[in-house]
Structure 1
Amino acid sequence: MSSTVSPPPDPIAMLRSKSYLALLVLAALIGVPISAAAYFFLALIGVIQTWIFTTLPEALGSGAAPIWWPFVPLLVAGVLVALTIRYLPGKGGHSPADGFAMEGPPTGRQIPGVVLAAFATLSLGVVLGPEAPLIALGAGLGALTVRLVKRDAPPRSQTMMAAAGSFAAISTLLGSPLTGAFLLMEASGLGGATLGLVLVPGLLAAGIGSLVFIGLDAWTGLGTFSLAISDIPPAEAPTGAQFPWAILIGLAAVPVGAGIRWLGVALRPHIERRMLLLMPVVGLAIAGLAVGYAVISGRSASEVLFSGQDALGPFIANVSEYTVGALLLLIVCKGVAYGLALSSFRGGPTFPALFIGAVGGAALSHLPGLPMIAGVAMGIGAMSVVMLKLPLTSVLLPTLILASDGLTLMPLVIVAVVVAYVVSALFTPPAAMLAPTPVLKPGPSVRS
């Protein structure tokens, strides 16, 4: 039996082909409904959060939510997510303790489980973000659309539309369509000619998605759901004296992030064996951390709960109201709650890392020689790269979150990110530093 290896397809020829042009048209078309689905997904989560943590306690005659109230929704979250993972196809999506493991898109049967697990996690206060479920949802809908249009569509077309769907779903969540593109490209390990083939329909879908988000915000008034923060005091240009702070913040982020990840990974196998019993216990532990923070600091338990996406802007605007002790307590409580959430719930790892990094940078800014906004920018970048292992995305995130301040402070952020990434790599098993499985895997075919 002989076998021959056919050469990989010519990217230029593919770009000029009618089938690729058809994919571009399909990417533009699917960008609209997927972006709309992502928009209302985020809007509904916000509505449910407000109802559960504000409206429901008032309706029960408690007035403002009592200090113990977080125990109720977090217990329910543990039960609902455990049932979803156990009994619905797809196990609610991939575990966030693995970071951005770019697995294949969920099938049509698996999408409901991904959506339900994400709703229960995010709406009920668990410390995870919406980006991973949105990426999975967009990829699943994109691949499903291709299969509905053409049942015998080649795997390449399905994976390209899955990538385009992911681009559209998070088109404005991270502040800009380009940020989401960077995150997906870096997480999937795409490069070379393959990058161009996937990037063009993906960017087209993301651009259309951004317009959909803007249009729906103007129509509904529900919000833009973007991480970008406005009205930040202008930052001064970095000085040579601040570069040692970049090294220090990069070093400090490593044990914090490594400890959070270790907690999630160490607990995960124990919880998975007795999920229906232990996930409610994990939810109660997260609520206990939030309540403990509120009692000790006198501040809101919501600063520990949730992803930190909506709290980041108000925190930066009002950081002068926090004592150093409150900032350190917030890092500990939210960090442990984040590690517990990674162990078993379903959501994204990005936003809690950004928030904890910002709080850590703000705490260090009480020491001489470190401006607050510079500490926040470097903390965001350093914690992002420790938790995500994506250095380019981690440099870009503070730049877009903090607008012009991010551009001014980029040299400091780069140093902090590089130090954190390199030192983190020294203490991480080599396999864990590798890029996850690519979304699109073109290659030679073998005929025998």
Structure 2
Amino acid sequence: MATATEAPTAGSPARALLPLVVPAVVVGVGSSLLLILLSGLANRVQELLWRHLPGWLGVGAYSAGWVILVLTCIGALSGLVVWKAPGHAGPDPATTGLVDPPLAPGVLPGLALAVVLTLAGGVSLGPENPIIATNIALACWLGARVMGRVPAPVWLALAAAGTVGALFGTPVAAALILSESFASKPAQPSAPGQGSVPGQGSLWDKLFAPLVAAGAGAMTTQLISHPEFAMPLPTYDSVRWVDLLTAALVASLGAVVAMVAVYAFPLLHRAFNRLRQPVVRLTLGGLVLGLLGALGGKDTLFKGLSQVKDLAEHPDGHSAAGFAGLALVRLAALTFASSAGFRGGRIFPAVFAGAALGFAAHALVSTIPVTLAVACGVLGVLLAVTRSGWVSLFTAAVLGGGSALLPILCVALLPAWLLVTGRPEMELPKSAAAPAPGHGPGPSGT
């Protein structure tokens, strides 16, 4: 066996991994820049819709009538994109996960336009799924032309990791998500003539290039947009035995409440799919979202990350029933938006719903530390919605902002996981996809 000081041989993992460093950096930086570009464009459109236009028209920016009007119009515009854009703006979002096989490049303009409408219009969905899908498609398409010997799964992993790192501002989330993926899917041999797939072998060999991409994406986001995910909550640094019980109860409550939305998801999806014309389907979906937004108010609109920080700045701003109502409206909006076919991800609105449930638990029982309650609420809801233990644990810990939370969150995760494992997921099989316009039942064009 070679010693630590010996140079790697021609077939060593180091020789296979080093050529991927530069491509990984390029993919990570590019993934972050595309995320920043689309998010910035969505923010400009959002300012127009929710700040300038109401001022010019002399109406309340978040009045019930304006909320219903804007979301209904956004639904109609999204329906037009899904109907007329090449590839129909990608597959039915109800059937897509966080990381899926690459789309055809021709689908991407329509998908980008659809996600900008979602983010700007107040739809309760996040950017993660469409942005990851776009970056994966671009990386695989361009990578095949620039470095054709590198297999497509490698480009997919680089783009997914780079985008997740950019979204969360840290490569840790990407490492956790990919390690979960590697554990659930056996490594695939490379195609004949392509050589070995770099990273097959040990877990850290597999994670090496994706972590480079995730680090590059995270650093680009940090340098340009300075994201901050931790909420302005009191530091949790005094662990009590009773907190183990309350943490488990709050996380389990969040999982149970979110599972109601998970069970309703396929029923709503089938109901919306009876409206085969996407303009009609999404306009109706926008109207429902507008009614929910008018009911829940400004805090239940948009992807939810800024709104959850607003809740954290005023933890006594609502009663327990008020916070619970915000959580239920947000979960309903998330479920209707995904069922109707709006392009967007489910993680960020689920975070808001979990945080609101945590604030409700603290308002109901004030002896529960507010930071612990919020982190455990997020943990339980994300477990039900994403069925990813690592994503749920990482997000809850980051939002809580303290390392003292980690041991308790690990314990609280266990009973909540028992409640959700083996049950339906908030992701439908491809066969349940909305019919592509003019093509009958089946997956939408990709």
Partner of 1:440: none
Listed one character per residue, the Cα deviations across residues 402-421 of structure 1 (whole Å, up to 9, x for unaligned) are 222xx212222222222111
Which 5+ residue runs of structure 1 have no aligned equivalent? 1-11, 218-223, 294-300, 434-448
CA positional deviation for 1:125: 0.8
Scaled by the length of structure 2, the TM-score of the pair is 0.82
Out of 342-351 and 53-62, give the one that drifted further: 53-62
Provide the rounded CA distance (Å) in 1 between the counterparts of 2:231 and 2:96.
28
Residue 348 of structure 1: how far off its partner (Å): 0.8
* Alignment of 1:415 onto 2:423: no
The residue identity in structure 2 corresponding to 1:386 is A
Q: Is the 8 A contact 2:247 2:412 kept in 1?
A: yes
**Equivalent runs, 1:231-310 vs 2, <5 Å:** 231-274=232-275, 275-293=278-296, 301-310=297-306
Would you say 1:210 and 2:207 are equivalent positions?
Answer: no
Q: Is the 8 A contact 1:74 1:284 kept in 2?
A: yes
Instruction: Find the counterpart in structure 1 of residue 365 from structure 2.
Output: 367
Match of 1:116, as an amino acid? L
Query: Which amino acid letter does the alignment assign opposite residue 132 of structure 2?
Result: I
* Counterpart in the other structure of 2:65: 68
Instruction: Provide the rounded CA distance (Å) in 1 between the counterparts of 2:424 and 2:28.
Output: 37
Q: Deviations over 1:391-433 (max 9, x none)?
A: 12211112122222xx21222222222211111125448x989
Which of the numbers 309, 332, 338 marks the counterpart of 2:334?
A: 338
Matched-pair contact (CA < 8 Å) for 1:82–1:279: yes
What is the rounded CA distance, in whole Å, between the counterparts of 1:184 and 1:122 in structure 2? Answer: 26
Aligned partner of residue 165 in structure 1, secondary structure: helix
CA distance in 1, matches of 2:253, 2:405: 19
Structure 2 spans left out of the alignment, 5+ residues: 1-9, 187-199, 430-446
**Cα RMSD after superposing both structures:** 2.6
Partners of 2:401 and 2:96 in 1: CA distance: 26
Question: Is the contact made by 2:35 and 2:166 (CA closer than 8 Å) also made in structure 1?
Answer: no
Measured after TM superposition, the shift of residue 24 of structure 1 is 2.5
Distance in 1 separating the partners of 2:270 and 2:428: 17
In 2, Cα distance between equivalents of 1:101 and 1:204: 20
CA contact 1:227–1:401 (8 Å) conserved in 2: no
Higher mean C-alpha deviation, range 301-310 or range 22-31: 22-31
- Give me the whole-angstrom Cα distance separating, in 2, the residues matched to 1:182 and 1:257: 23
For each residue in 1:35-72, what CA deviation from the matched residue of structure 2 results, as whole angstroms up to 9, or x when unmatched?
21211212222222122111111122336453311122
Distance 1:190 1:200 in 2: 18
2:77, 2:279 within 8 Å by CA — same for their partners in 1? no
SS of the counterpart of 2:302? Answer: coil
> What does 1:332-411 correspond to in 2, within 5 Å?
332-343=328-339, 344-365=341-362, 366-367=364-365, 369-404=367-402, 407-411=403-407
Shift of 1:239: 1.3
CA 1:382/1:369 → structure 2, altered by over 3 Å: closer, same or farther?
A: same
Classify 1:272/1:227 alpha carbon distance in 2 versus 1 (closer, same or farther; 3 Å). farther
Amino acid at match of 1:102: V
- Contact 2:73 2:283 survives alignment (8 Å): yes
Match of 1:179 among 158, 164, 173: 173
1:41 alignment counterpart: 38
Residue 160 (structure 1) aligned to one of 122, 130, 154? 154
- Hey, what does 1:106 align to over in structure 2? 103
After superposition, residues 13-52 of structure 1 pair within 5 angstroms as 13=11, 15-17=13-15, 20-52=17-49
Q: Which residue in 1 is equivalent to 2:141?
A: 144
Identity over aligned pairs, percent: 24
What residue identity is the alignment partner of 1:271?
F
Partner Cα distance (1:68, 1:361) in 2: 30
Question: TM-score when scaled to structure 1?
Answer: 0.82
Take 1:342 and 1:27, find their aligned partners in 2: how far apart are those partners?
32
Secondary structure of 2:66 counterpart: coil
Partner of 1:131: 128
1:412 is aligned with what amino acid?
I
In structure 2, how many angstroms separate the alpha carbons of the residues matched to 1:14 and 1:302? 56
Assess if the C-alpha contact under 8 Å between 2:299 and 2:307 holds in 1. Answer: yes
- Going from structure 1 to structure 2, the CA distance change for 1:418 and 1:136 (only over 3 Å counts) comes to same
Cα gap change, 1:206/1:426 in structure 2, threshold over 3 Å: closer, same or farther?
closer
Cα separation, 2, equivalents of 1:88 and 1:198:
37
